[in-house]
A and B are shown apart, each in its own frame.
Chain A
């Protein structure tokens, strides 16, 4: 399969600080992609560069054959590349219903609004019970469901999740992981940043270790490593 997303030599950062150093990777050739690595090494920054929240200083990003580097975040949403940011801050004073309506804001997603809303409710029945409730009054797990639900309303062709289970209690985390697996089985390719390696090994077919703003190691299918080996990569040998 051709990769759905290719990142070629992206250099990006904040102000004068460069965070990503000529990073390259591919997604979609083997299935879902997992990104992992120590905190503060540029995973979130990479995702922000991909979704157009941050303009890269150099390099090229292609999504499904189209060069999307330099496009606005809105234009990128219009191509179906949807990014769920880290930390589920969302829209604290909007209701779940409002968030879902916003998810379907782009002209591309609008015609599928009803169908996608049904999918979201089926995936996260808890949200239906709290449909008119403000996001700020929800638990962390529920807010994450709203984040992912909003992204599904955008009718994604590729879904990027930045640490979806961050800070969740174990039981809630397991439920959320199961839902993410469901989304994948429903045919949406995923790029997922996660600290939980077990979850990544189960969900994804290809892994990248991001270290100091570059890919330190790529793990392709067939080269599966065990947990211990990954941990030793994580912490340096």
Chain B
């Protein structure tokens, strides 16, 4: 019983963080057709901004939403400065990998300069611990497990039930046709980046509440998010969400039965097998588009 509870809980928790990160990567890929390698840095920056605001004396309930909104602005600016000018170039995918990596490393070093290398921590969403099915868990982690699906559902509703969301899905599929119905394609690109950066920032706040933060805290989650979108298929946002939880459960099970040490190797083994059998990802249809 406690084994199952532990795997279930660990899977839900890790899956939530992965989903939160991966969905932003997928959103940017489907709308603009580029991979944003500063996505991990967004996560770090969100956490540090939240930390700074709390340091300044704001209560967490105010600081966290402000940090998320600030991250939306950061995402927009990054898009306007290192992505938008390159749109239309023949090698855009590769070029943007480089420009976003460069911008990310600049921001990372900026964070190091401003906040220093000392690890920091931000307040948990909810303080305290409890026991479920014989497993001790923190309320912070439970809050993440509950909040994440709500946010992802809200994103899904936004994309599928609002006209602005429809516009984002349209740009993802055909840019010329989007221009011809009068969509503001540039603004929609900015919006995709802003949403992605906010979600990454929120993931950072989640993480900073139970683990020590450092300026490089985003690089492992970025790698995991990349694995998730490759595994789940980069053509939609529902694929990566399912994949995130699947990988979360897989990791939880692996580390329970084989130990933490073997988990990355097993994960990559599964990833390679998936790519050999279904190169487009397990949940993917063959086209690009948000759904």
* Partner-B contacts on A (CB < 8 A): 51-53, 73-74, 77-78, 82-85, 89-94, 98, 101-103, 105-106, 109, 136, 150-151, 154
Contact = CB atoms under 8 A, between A and B. Distances in A.
Interface string B155-190: 000000001001101100110111111111100000
Contacts of A74: 179, 182-185
Given A101-B163, A105-B163, A136-B287, A94 B170 contact: yes
B291 interface: yes
A82 B173 contact: no
Given A102-B166, A105-B183, 17 more contacts: A74-B184, A74-B185, A77-B179, A85-B177, A85-B180, A89-B176, A89-B177, A90-B174, A91-B177, A92-B174, A93-B289, A94-B289, A98-B170, A101-B163, A105-B181, A106-B182, A154-B181
A85 B183 contact: no
B183 A102 contact: yes
A133 to B, nearest CB: 14
Interface majority SS (helix, strand, loop, mixed), chain B? helix
A77 B178 CA distance: 11
Task: Name the 6 nearest CB pairs between A and B, nearest first.
Answer: A77-B182, A106-B182, A73-B179, A93-B289, A91-B173, A102-B181
20 contacts: A51-B180, A53-B179, A73-B179, A77-B179, A77-B181, A77-B182, A85-B177, A90-B174, A90-B177, A91-B174, A91-B177, A93-B173, A93-B287, A94-B173, A98-B166, A101-B166, A102-B181, A105-B163, A105-B182, A106-B182
Contacts, number: 75
Contacts of A150: 181
A77 B179 CA distance: 8
Contacts of A90: 174, 177
Contacts of B173: 91-94
B164 to A, nearest CB: 10
A85 B176 contact: yes
Contacts of A109: 182
A72 to B, nearest CB: 8
B236 to A, nearest CB: 9
A105 B287 contact: no
Contact of B180 (A73, A92, A93, A101): A73
Contact of A154 (B163, B174, B182): B182
Contacts of B176: 53, 85, 89
A161 B16 CA distance: 48
A71 B185 CA distance: 14
Contact of A94 (B169, B185, B285): B169
A151 B173 CA distance: 17
Nearest to B163: A101
Contacts of A136: 287
A224 B179 CA distance: 37
A54 to B, nearest CB: 10
Nearest to A52: B179
Given A85-B176, A91-B170, A93-B173, A103 B181 contact: yes
Interface in B182-237: 182-185
A217 B219 CA distance: 63
A105 B167 contact: yes
Contacts of B180: 51, 53, 73, 77, 82-85, 151
Contacts of B291: 93
Contacts of B182: 73-74, 77-78, 105-106, 109, 154
